[in-house]
Structure 1
């Protein structure tokens, strides 16, 4: 069984996996450049995902891009659940329906709306768990094909924009209201909604009704980082998406992600990923 390593490096990859994951409270947001699939056989788990509190119940396949900051803040009725990770570039190369990919890459958690699929999904995850653990490349390849097919089937149940009402920033019925959020979580939600704008510690503090002198300590106790570092994480995640899925100029990517200058963007990007934005685009652009 896998469990979260609080000392793991930001964006350290998991790769192609299917494991049983130990349910636990994860205070420090995790980020890794894979698409993550979750499936619970019992209970429920609550994420703070891109600044929103989202509850995933048993029996509902849940999918999101793990490049956005996310951590588990509550769970009940379970000790473990299935987690599978797929490298982002593989996901993009599958060329799933555009509206589905768009939602995933914009920070939405997509959840299976049909509860009758629970038994079939449980069987799939048990098979994937066994096959990914084997040295057989053929069985691993079959698992990838099945995951792609499962996501395509899920995409059929996600309405395209022309047949659905305009989505909210994070359209899911499991999002909890602000009254359920702690002060730190209120700050995280504010950052998620405003990270492309100029943000100061005063702006973030005001959103939670705190004095700036207390803001950093409150935020760090919950998330293990500072509010302004969290802003940079969101901006980098936004830039990753633009680099992988658009032809925007690097300068436009920097400015549209909230960075005030190209030099600041390049410096932050290289520090986080060990490469330039241009090199990242070359490695992760779908072909």
Structure 2
């Protein structure tokens, strides 16, 4: 079983994987350009994801686009879980139900809680983990088909629950958030995640949570191992990355829409985080068609 490596490069790809993980408190957010599935076998996980604090409990299957900065901040002792990463291009090419695709592409969490499937999922994910350690391409083809089927079952389950809730006059929606009490550092992280497209300063962030700027900066750095400014840039670059591969907006418009006040600062931050220019990144992934660049 493995744990998160805080030294892994920003936006580094995982590829197609299924791995048994042991949780750890992540000193910084991770983000990579795959769809991520978390199957919690026992215990529970608390994430900061897209400006919200979310929980995934034992027996639940969660899915999100991992380009959204995500960070484990708490977990139960003895928790273990499977992490599946699915390349975004593959995910988009499968023509999965639009409700699920749009939910994940907009930064939501799809959360399924199907008790009858718990044992089935454990066996399925264990088989994927074993098969992906082999070089057998035929086995990989089977895994891809099984992953597609499992995602379709998840989409059907979410749609059925949503219809049932609407019929009963209530709706939590498939973006299942259970936001608990946030400490000051978590409040700052969530504030940044919700407001990063605005012209934020450290003074703005610290004022929003009722702290002196110097104390806020020190507290945040001690907890997350990175500065507030770096955390803000993480979110802005991540937003730009998503827009580059899912839209045909001009790069200058993406830069400004991500919260950068100039194209030069955007290019500098993007190259530093991703190791390439925004134009190169868009060309490499090639998802957005008919680009106006």
> How many corresponding residue pairs?
283
Which stretches in structure 1 are left out of the alignment for 5+ residues? none
1:152 corresponds to which residue?
A: 152
Give the Å deviation of 1:83.
0.8
Report if the CA contact (8 A) 2:244-2:282 is conserved: yes
User: How far does residue 229 in structure 1 lie from its aligned partner after superposition?
Assistant: 1.2
Query: Which residue of structure 1 lines up, in the alignment, with residue 19 of structure 2?
Result: 19
The correspondence of residues 110-259 of structure 1 with structure 2, limited to 5 A, is: 110-159=110-159, 171-176=175-180, 180-259=181-260
Query: 1: CA distance between counterparts of 2:77 and 2:265?
Result: 45
- CA separation in 2, counterparts of 1:212 and 1:170? 37
- Could you tell which deviates more after superposition, 111-120 or 144-153? 111-120
- Contact (CA 8 Å) 1:27, 1:222: kept in 2 or not? yes
Normalised by the length of structure 2, the TM-score is 0.89
Per-residue deviation, residues 189-238 of structure 1 (Å, max 9, x unmatched): 11111111110111100111110111211111111111121111111111
Counterpart contact for 2:59–2:113, Cα < 8 Å: no
In 1, are the aligned partners of 2:53 and 2:177 still within 8 Å (CA)?
Answer: no
SS in 1 for 2:261: coil
Distance (whole Å) between structure 2 residues aligned to residue 208 and residue 271 of structure 1:
30
Unaligned runs of 5+ in 2: none
Q: For residues 262 and 95 of structure 1, what CA distance do their matches in structure 2 show?
A: 34
SS at match of 1:259: coil
Give the root-mean-square deviation of aligned CA atoms. Answer: 2.4
Alignment CA distance shift 1:240-1:169 (3 Å) = farther
Rounded to whole Å, the distance in 2 between the matches of 1:83 and 1:252 is 34
Using the size of structure 1 for normalisation, the TM-score is: 0.90
Alignment partners' CA distance in 2, 1:137 and 1:152? 23
Q: 1:230 to 1:31 in 2, by over 3 A?
A: same
Q: Say which is worse superposed, 28-37 or 128-137, in terms of deviation.
A: 28-37
Q: Tell me the SS of whatever aligns to 1:186.
A: helix
Flag the 1:257–1:169 CA change in 2: closer, same or farther, 3 A.
farther
Query: Is this contact kept in 1: 2:62–2:111, CA < 8 A?
Result: yes
State the shift of 1:169 in Å.
11
Asked whether the 8 Å contact 1:6–1:28 carries over to 2, the reply is yes
* Structure 1 moving runs of 4+ over 6 Å: 162-165, 167-170
